[in-house]
């Protein structure tokens, strides 16, 4: 087992807000208006175990994969989130998307403990072999990952976007 330094961001490293794009008919992450977002994996991951992290990233970063993932993607920029949502709608992924502003300091579990947030760009810069074959590292810039869940209480704003 190869151990790596804990990749979780510290609170002072979070952007003020993060932005989740949710496609009601196409997102792999489950969303419920009373509970928020939950990942599709039903077990746990050790983010300090290189192999666990590599396996988790393999399924998460393969956009065509149906394998459950531990991570919930967010963007560090609202403009990036909206532009990406519109581009995906234009490609036929869904007819609309919700852009949700997330307060990263409120991504907590039921015991009020902060859940890990990872900066994907930082991790892929440190471990470039985790970039999936055929993917460019720059595709993952400005992407942040919440581990396991984003509670409804962390969502501070939401609005729908459409193509055109």
Spans of all domains in the chain: 11-162
Q: Which region among 2-6, 30-34, 40-44, 62-66 has the lowest average model confidence (pLDDT)? A: 62-66
Rounded CA-CA distance 101/71 in Å is: 17
Residue 89 is predicted with a pLDDT of: 92
Are 39 and 115 in contact, with CB atoms under 8 Å apart?
no
Give the global pTM.
0.91
Question: What's the pLDDT band for 140 if we cut at 50, 70, 90?
Answer: confident
pLDDT at 164: 67
What secondary structure, in 3-state letters, does 80-144 show?
HHHHHHHHHHHCCCCCEEEEEEECHHHCECCCCCECCEEEHHHHHHHCHHHCCCCCCHHHHCCEE
Q: Check pLDDT > 80 for residue 1.
A: no
Q: Is the pLDDT of residue 70 over 80?
A: yes
- Which pLDDT value is given to residue 17? 97
Q: Over 70: is that where the pLDDT of 102 sits?
A: yes
Query: Do the Cβ atoms of 13 and 131 come closer than 8 Å?
Result: no
What does the longest C-alpha to C-alpha distance in the chain come to? 49
Residue 16 reports pLDDT greater than 70: yes
Look at residue 134 in the predicted model and tell me its pLDDT. Answer: 78
The mean per-residue pLDDT over the stretch 80-94 comes to 92
Indicate the CATH number of 11-162 among 1.10.3470, 3.30.70, 3.90.210, 2.60.120. Answer: 3.90.210
């Amino acid at each position: 087992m190869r151990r790596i330094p804990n990749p979780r961001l510290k609170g002072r490293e979070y952007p003020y807000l993060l932005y989740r794009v949710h496609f009601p008919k196409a997102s792999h992450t489950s969303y419920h208006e009373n509970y928020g977002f939950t990942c599709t994996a039903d077990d746990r991951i050790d983010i300090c175990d290189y192999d666990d992290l590599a396996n988790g990233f393999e399924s998460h970063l393969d956009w065509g994969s149906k394998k459950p993932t531990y991570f919930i993607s967010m963007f560090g920029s609202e403009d990036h989130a909206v532009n990406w949502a519109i581009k995906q709608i234009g490609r036929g992924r869904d007819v609309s998307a919700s852009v949700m502003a997330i307060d990263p300091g409120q991504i907590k579990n039921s015991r009020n403990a902060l859940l890990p947030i990872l900066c994907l760009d930082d991790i892929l810069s440190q471990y470039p072999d985790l970039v999936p074959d055929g993917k460019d590292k720059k595709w993952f810039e400005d992407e942040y990952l919440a581990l396991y869940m984003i509670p409804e209480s962390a969502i501070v704003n939401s609005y729908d976007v459409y193509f055109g």
